[in-house]
Amino acid sequence: MADNVPATKPYRDDADWWKSTTVYQIYPRSFRDSNGDGIGDIPGIVSKLDYLADLGIGVIWLSPVYASPMEDNGYDISDYRDIAPEFGTLADMDRLIAEAGKRGIGIVMDLVVNHTSDRHEWFEASRASRDNPKRDFYVWRDPAPDGGPPNDLPSYFAGSAWAFDEATGQYYLHLFAPGQPDLNWDNPQLRAEIYDMMNWWLDRGVAGFRMDVIDLIGKQPDRLIRNNGPKLHDYLQEMHREALAGRNVLTVGESWEATPETGLLFSGRDRDELSMVFQFQHVTSLWGEDGNKWRPRPFDLVTFKRALNEWQRALAEDGWNSLFVSNHDLPRAVSRYGDDRRHWRESATAIATVNHLMRGTPYVFQGEEIGMTNAGFTQIDQYRDVETLNFHAEHEAAGYDLAAFLDGAAANGRDNARTPVQWTAAKNAGFTDGIPWIGVNPNHDRINVDNQIGDEHSVLAHYRRLIGLRKTHPVVVHGDYVPCLEDNPQIFAFTRNLGNRRLAVVVNFSSEPARCDIPAGLETSGVCAISNYAPRDTIAGTLGLAPWEAFAVLSET
């Protein structure tokens, strides 16, 4: 531990505290700009902590703020122990940790350790010569006999995962952009460096880590294995021993490939790996053929419920779910799953009702709590995201239909989540006094924090009530989960049960009125815990629901 830094505890220290909290994700570049350079920053976050405390959240997951050339907005780190100047300084970071702590909010850092930036000093050493002591911190291979890449492994950001480096005549692996060379986790010195860095941040008082693409660290590129390599769980257990054990922090690993079958391997009680994983089956099961995200399928509730219900079942006795409908890589939830034109408020609140009342720890992505919508970009020059730009270039080079690609990007591209948070109706939505780094959604005249803050019917007020319910009703945190009406194409319903307490949740997840016969297991009457139309306290008989009507009833059995 750095000896000039006082050791502080995460803000809470009761066992499994991360099960009963709500996490708020900040994508710093788009949150709030304090100095008019058009880029959100750490002082901007500090200025909004009272807003977040009022919302009731207990943790901020901070997308990367480390030193970075920003090829992937900070997911390309050049120094794990420093802050990018556009975001602030280490002193700003310490102030954020302290000021958040005063408000009962812990800071969870984004741990991006599958790869670094090509400007990290480790990579600069590694690429300098074949016998550099850091050569093996990264993955280097000889060219194929024809001089081409060692094999056909693709990058997640289009093209080959291999880049040729003239200086030493070998290829290096980059599962993302060429500026994001993959670290070689099979090297024990590299692993020790990572754990040391994690301890350095934990000793500074952070409340845990969100672990970027953590299921890639066991990659075996020679066998074309990217996720879930054979050593993955050995490395996670070692990481736990070396950096996490005894710390009582929140850890959440991002795993696009985790399934209900493998979920417990990450978060099972006796595994000593992570608190939970972000799984994506409810997201990717709605992508197009062969997982094509640029051709998403229309929303289908039965598919969506099946994915979520299977995860609820799989982690019923052991392990723990994370609950999310949006993040910085996904389209806005109200645009993807709801109806942002005809039933904007009702669908935003209905989706939130489901997400917050399932069993697990809910995550709110910045702006979701006011129902921010997709960006509405129609031209490629409006986009900033490396993934979108690379795939656009690839489609263009191949002579594919670019109009169709732009439709896909508008529906499912990552920049939908990255337009600035809409604080006010004023110019640039109160995000910046300068020129924003990416376009502000013109609907900020209508959808903004200012508009909603004193309005009890707002999306924001609904989020505040949902977050509050978790604090006052243990059944929301600890109750079991029983899915109902699983094949109903319009209704998302379930009960939660703890001792003699029951919470029954019914949501019309569609833009049409719905009617259905209530099955015995769902029938109840008690008090209305939350609703987005008039309060209701009974679920029985043949129930009629308005478009996107959502409510929950608390009762004793």
In whole angstroms, the minimum distance from the beta carbon of 137 to ligand TEU comes to: 17
Beta carbons of 405 and 294 less than 8 angstroms apart: yes
Contact positions with ligand TEU (CB under 6 A) in 319-338: 328-329
In whole angstroms, the minimum distance from the beta carbon of 36 to Ca ion comes to: 7
Which of helix, strand or coil describes residue 514? strand
By CB under 6 A, residue 266 contacts ligand TEU: no
CA angle, 361 as apex, 305 and 45 as ends, to 5°? Answer: 120
User: Given the rule CB under 5 A, which of 39-47, 102-110, 217-225, 387-395 is the region that contacts Ca ion?
Assistant: 39-47
State the amino acid at position 174 in one-letter form.
H
Closer to ligand TEU by CB, 86 or 212: give it. Answer: 212
In whole angstroms, the minimum distance from the beta carbon of 226 to ligand TEU comes to: 10
Binding ligand TEU (rule: CB under 6 A), the pick from 156, 200, 299, 400 is 156
By CB under 6 A, residue 112 contacts ligand TEU: yes
Task: Decide if 146 is catalytic.
Answer: no
Torsion, Cα 511 516 520 525, to 10 degrees, reads 60
By CB under 6 A, residue 429 contacts ligand TEU: no
Beta carbons of 525 and 537 less than 8 angstroms apart: yes
The residue with its CB nearest to ligand TEU is 75
In whole angstroms, the minimum distance from the beta carbon of 212 to ligand TEU comes to: 5
Which partner from the list Ca ion, ligand TEU, none does 176 bind, CB cut-off 5 to 8 Å by kind? ligand TEU
Closer to ligand TEU by CB, 180 or 309: give it. Answer: 180
In whole angstroms, the minimum distance from the beta carbon of 88 to Ca ion comes to: 8
Which of helix, strand or coil describes residue 332? coil
Which candidate, 155, 165, 283, places its Cα nearest to that of 221? Answer: 155
Letters for 367-396 (x = contact with ligand TEU by CB under 6 A, - = none) are --------------------x---------
Beta carbons of 505 and 494 less than 8 angstroms apart: yes
Q: Which of 71, 86, 92, 212 is catalytic?
A: 212
By CB under 6 A, residue 293 contacts ligand TEU: yes
**99: Cβ–Cβ under 8 A, 6 or more apart, which residues?**
46, 49
Which partner from the list ligand TEU, Ca ion, none does 329 bind, CB cut-off 5 to 8 Å by kind? ligand TEU
Is residue 425 exposed (0-12), middle (13-18) or buried (19+ Cβ within 10 Å)? middle
Which partner from the list ligand TEU, Ca ion, none does 37 bind, CB cut-off 5 to 8 Å by kind? Ca ion
By CB under 6 A, residue 72 contacts ligand TEU: yes
By CB under 6 A, residue 414 contacts ligand TEU: yes
Closer to ligand TEU by CB, 247 or 293: give it. Answer: 293
User: 282-290: long-range contacts at Cβ-Cβ below 8 A with a sequence spacing of 24 or more?
Assistant: 282/307, 282/308, 283/330, 284/256, 287/412
In whole angstroms, the minimum distance from the beta carbon of 529 to ligand TEU comes to: 33
- Give me the DSSP letters along 440-472: PPGGGGTS-HHHHTT-TTSHHHHHHHHHHHHHH
Which ranges of 204-337 does DSSP label H, i.e. alpha helix? 232-239, 263-267, 281-284, 301-314, 333-336
By CB under 5 A, residue 39 contacts Ca ion: yes
Q: Which of 254, 273, 310, 385 is catalytic?
A: 254
Which of helix, strand or coil describes residue 498? strand
Using DSSP bridges, classify how beta strands 514-517 and 79-83 pair: parallel, antiparallel or unpaired.
unpaired
In whole angstroms, the minimum distance from the beta carbon of 26 to Ca ion comes to: 14
Which partner from the list ligand TEU, Ca ion, none does 339 bind, CB cut-off 5 to 8 Å by kind? none
How far apart are alpha carbons 192 and 214 in whole angstroms?
Answer: 16
CA angle, 60 as apex, 383 and 266 as ends, to 5°? Answer: 90
In whole angstroms, the minimum distance from the beta carbon of 111 to ligand TEU comes to: 11
Place of tokens 């707002």: 458
Which partner from the list Ca ion, ligand TEU, none does 29 bind, CB cut-off 5 to 8 Å by kind? none
Which of helix, strand or coil describes residue 205? coil
Query: In this structure, what DSSP letter does residue 30 have?
Result: G
Closer to ligand TEU by CB, 409 or 530: give it. Answer: 409
Task: Decide if 71 is catalytic.
Answer: no
Contact positions with Ca ion (CB under 5 A) in 287-306: none
The residue with its CB nearest to Ca ion is 41
Binding ligand TEU (rule: CB under 6 A), the pick from 213, 357, 375, 447 is 213
Does residue 337 come out as left (phi exceeding 0), alpha (psi in the -120 to 50 range) or beta?
Answer: alpha
By CB under 6 A, residue 182 contacts ligand TEU: no
Binding Ca ion (rule: CB under 5 A), the pick from 8, 12, 20, 37 is 37
- What interhelical angle do 402-412 and 386-397 show, nearest 10? 160
Tokens of 214: 């953590």
Which partner from the list Ca ion, ligand TEU, none does 359 bind, CB cut-off 5 to 8 Å by kind? none
Query: In this structure, what DSSP letter does residue 142 have?
Result: P
State the amino acid at position 430 in one-letter form.
G
User: Given the rule CB under 5 A, which of 28-36, 285-293, 384-392, 531-539 is the region that contacts Ca ion?
Assistant: 28-36
User: Given the rule CB under 5 A, which of 40-48, 100-108, 224-232, 264-272 is the region that contacts Ca ion?
Assistant: 40-48
Residues forming contacts to Ca ion in the complex (CB under 5 A) are 33, 35, 37, 39, 41
Residues forming contacts to ligand TEU in the complex (CB under 6 A) are 72, 75, 112, 156, 176, 212-213, 254, 256, 293, 328-329, 387, 414
Mind telling me the catalytic residues? 212, 254
